[in-house]
Amino acid sequence: MSHPEDQRAPDPGQGDRVPWPEGFPTGQEAGSVEAQLEQARAESEDNRRKAEAYLDLAQRAQADFANYKRRTTQELEQKVLNANASLLTQLLPAFDDLQRALENIPSDIAEHSWPQGIALIGQKLDAILKNQGLERIGAEGDRFDPHIHEAVAYEEHPVYDEGQVASVYRVGYRLNDRVLRAAQVVVARGSSRPPASAGGESRSVGEGTTH
């Protein structure tokens, strides 16, 4: 049997109102959470920009160090090359004297042990210089090249054409790509006029040259 109070009409003020779930933030609390999220996003973006900036600085520093290392290595190699070139240039006259002595050993003593020992020393020295990158330049039949040749005379030659090296007065030397000393040569010509590529006027062997 129903009670009269169970048959009362619903309160129009409450109608279909759904109660606020327990544990859910209220409107004020939701606004506070949204503000915190926005602040967290801003801090995350700021940290991301800082990380990118630090990464860029690190990459630049690494590139600068690599460039510095490469530059110092090249400078050191150049200093070593310059030092070797300076030393070898000073040794060339003594090497020339040794070669001339070996080429002019009298035949009556050529078979003695001491001239042969000196010749062996010359061969060892030549091998050492080659291992250091030293190369002889200037040979008969070469085309005259003012970058590696120095013309000391011009002469008509029955075999070589105009502009070719007819004979070598003093060999030259090149260290890697650097010419330490140009070869002094006699240049062949086909007429009384020196070849234009050789430049200058005809000179006798030894005129205006040093040994």
Top pLDDT among 72 and 203 is at 72
Asked whether the predicted pLDDT for residue 62 surpasses 80, the reply is yes
Of 99, 118, 100, residue with least CA distance to 109: 118
The string of DSSP codes covering 16-70 is: TPPPPPTT---HHHHHHHHHHHHHHHHHHHHHHHHHHHHHHHHHHHHHHHHHHHH
**Runs of H (alpha helix) within 104-194:** 113-131
At residue 188, the pLDDT reads: 94
Kindly indicate the confidence band of residue 27, based on its pLDDT and cuts at 50, 70 and 90. Answer: low
Residue 12 to residue 16: CA distance in whole angstroms: 9
Confirm if 149 and 166 have CB atoms less than 8 A apart: no
At residue 152, the pLDDT reads: 95
> Quick check: pTM over 0.85?
no
Residue 191 to residue 188: CA distance in whole angstroms: 9
Give the range among 51-60, 76-85, 197-206 with minimum mean pLDDT.
197-206
Q: What is the pLDDT of residues 123-182, one digit of tens each?
A: 998 898 888 889 999 999 999 999 999 999 999 988 899 999 999 999 999 998 899 999
Residue 64 to residue 195: CA distance in whole angstroms: 53
Of 88, 77, 95, residue with least CA distance to 179: 88
